[in-house]
A and B are shown apart, each in its own frame.
Chain A
Amino acid sequence: MGDATETFYGVIRRQGITRRSFLKFCSFTAASLGLGASSIAHALETKPRVPVIWLHGLECTCCSESFIRSAHPLIKDALLSMISLDYDHMIMAAAGHQAEAILEETRARYKGGYVLAVEGNPPLNEGGMFCIDGGKPFVEKLTSMAEESMAIVAWGTCASWGCVQAAKPNPTRAVPIDKLITNRPFIKVPGGPPIAEVMSGLVTFITTFGKLPKLDHQGRPSMFYSERIHDKCYRRSHFDAGQFVEEWDDTNARKGYCLYKLGCKGPTTYNACSALRWNGGVSFPIQSGHGCLGCSEDGFWDKGSFYDRLTTIKQFGIEQNADEIGMAAAGVVGLAVAAHAAVTAAKRLRHRPDRPAHKGKPS
């Protein structure tokens, strides 16, 4: 392919990086991967771009929208030079059978060599026909494309955990992708949606380093999901000092105090928002005065109101938080104790206290 091919090398040369620094970058990369520098350089100079098939199930397209917000790399560079996004309903030129032909071609031509990116998830109720794609259940397309893929990237909370359509009572029986596909390398990139630079960072990690990133025990890339929002929140000092916003738009809110008491889920949410921030780093939810919803966490829709500190417990068939349940239970116990004490006192008044309290012999 030679000169005609748009490669990673071509892009960085155009961005003003010399061949010398390119080779330096390659030797650094090679050292960290334990490979020869020249082989990496060669690979980046000549390797065809990784084909990516991006499927949409039950979703809201926020992941695609977030992806195109990427500031570094610019998404135009990613599309023209880093990956080959051969199939994605949202931006692809082809439609109908011309679009479907691409899937067949990719399966045949890049067997085991394409990345399957999935946005949204399949519903299983109604024979899968709550999401019809090409006249057939979406789940069929998903499983057939998964079979021959190199790896699967589950974009967003829909594909990773189920998200809003899987919130109770989950009328369509939407399931996360890893419930259906268990035999392929699988990366979860949760978030409603994930941060743009997390998405593009993951893609470029794979194309740059030629391997899948290290994952945590929940299958998320450790580089982005190993710390909580809370751990790197710029309002953390207010948390430690015990300075909380009590009500919306109060003096404390204007001073930027901690949103803990208004239900911020930063302490339980693993994501990079507080470190990378959103939209080129201008803000993130807490910076703009609203607590974290916990949108990259499993089942965050079903933990009670987003504005409650103590989340609702539904297991007892009633909706109460831990304090309400606990106080009620402790109250019942307290009453029982009091009643028992009263009965004891009454009994003791009737019997003389100095009389032996038992009929049996002392041991």
Chain B
Amino acid sequence: MRNRAQKFLAAADAALAGRSIRGGTAHIYALVRLWHWANAAAILVLSLTGYLIGTGTPAIWGMASGGFLFGYIRFAHFSAGYVLSAGFLLRIYWALMGNAHAMQIFCVPLWRRCFWRELHHEIRRYSFLAVEPERGLGHNRLAQLAMFFMFTQTITFMVVTGFALYGQGAGTDSWQYKVFGWVFSLWPNSQDFHTWHHLGLWVIVMFALVHIYAVLWDDVVSRRSFPSIK
């Protein structure tokens, strides 16, 4: 199992370095890594700027016309939002076109018996009751669950509400408002969306904490996750 993991990761590394091993598969895994790190960067920018937008910055001196600090912060937020959204769209495309693992973070097979068995096993493993990892490739079942609920769902929510709120500024005749403005019929006062969008930031912070820790832990305990190869 470890060998296999090593093999495909080596392929991924090779792809990143510009060498092609075994054609398309390597490219795709490279793209997934690229997606991952683009996401990480975008989320970092979004979280920091988002926090500042919610709280406000200490006032800067000088004439209003001479400064655009808050404007730049918001610009960075919106740009990173576009990067995240574009990547997310590509990821959805890949989920539809790619192999079964590509679907993992979008679809949790709650109806499958093996899912629950494997999930149970993973919970035991994280509770130090079992040691052997269940499966070889892709996310384990617990990770899949976390990815689906904390990442995929939250990002979907953040993209939709983010564009709806952006549409308010872009104007009710903008495409953003036309595509996403429907959310305001759920809660007519958009103040609610600001609040919940801001809360979404904290869900992602929690996700990032768990995510990074789990990667390192898995690496240390079972030496099977990605960083161990580097």
Q: Which residues of A contact B (CB under 8 A)?
A: 161, 216-218, 222, 226-228, 230-231, 237-246, 252, 257, 260-261, 265, 267-268, 294, 297-300, 303, 309-311, 313, 321-323, 325-327, 329-330, 333-334, 337, 340-341, 343-344, 347-348, 357-360, 362-363
- The answer on a CB contact under 8 Å between A322 and B54 is yes
B interface secondary structure, majority: helix
What is the number of contacts between chain A and chain B, taking CB atoms within 8 Å? 163
CA distance A297 to B2 in the complex (A): 58
B200 CB, min distance to chain A CBs, angstroms: 9
Instruction: Check A261–B202 contact: CB distance below 8 A.
Output: no
Q: In the complex, are the beta carbons of B195 and A311 less than 8 A apart?
A: yes
- Which residues in A have their C-beta under 8 angstroms from that of B65? 237, 241
Q: Are A330 and B55 neighbours in the complex by a CB distance under 8 Å?
A: no
- Assembled-state Cα–Cα distance A241/B58 (Å): 11
B198 interface residue, CB < 8 Å from A?
Answer: yes
B56 and A261: CB pair below 8 A?
A: yes
Contacts of B220 in A (CB 8 A): 344, 348
Residues of A within 8 A of B194 (CB): 267-268, 311
Contact with A239, one of B55, B70, B222 (Cβ below 8 angstroms)? B70
Give the chain B neighbours of A303 by CB distance below 8 A: 189, 191-192, 195
A344 adjacent to B217 (CB under 8 Å) = yes
- Assuming the A-B contacts A300-B191, A309-B55, A325-B199, are A242 and B210 also in contact, with contact meaning beta carbons closer than 8 angstroms in the complex? no
Bound Cα distance from A325 to B196, whole angstroms: 11
**Cross-interface CB contact of B131 among A161, A241, A358, cutoff 8 Å:** A358
Q: B156 interface residue, CB < 8 Å from A?
A: no
A322 and B209 within 8 A (CB): no
Name the residue of chain A whose CB is nearest to the CB of B133: A358
> Looking at the complex, which one of B69, B190, B202, B210 makes contact with A326 (CB distance below 8 Å)?
B202
Q: Are B210 and A337 in contact (CB under 8 A)?
A: yes
Is there contact, CB below 8 Å, between A242 and B209?
Answer: no
Q: Which 8 pairs, one residue from A and one from B, show the smallest C-beta to C-beta distance?
A: A326-B202, A242-B69, A241-B67, A363-B1, A242-B70, A240-B71, A298-B188, A237-B64
Complex CA distance for A359 and B205, rounded to whole angstroms? 35
A344 to B223, CA, bound (A): 14
Contact with A along B126-161 (1 / 0, CB 8 A): 101001110010000000000000000000000000
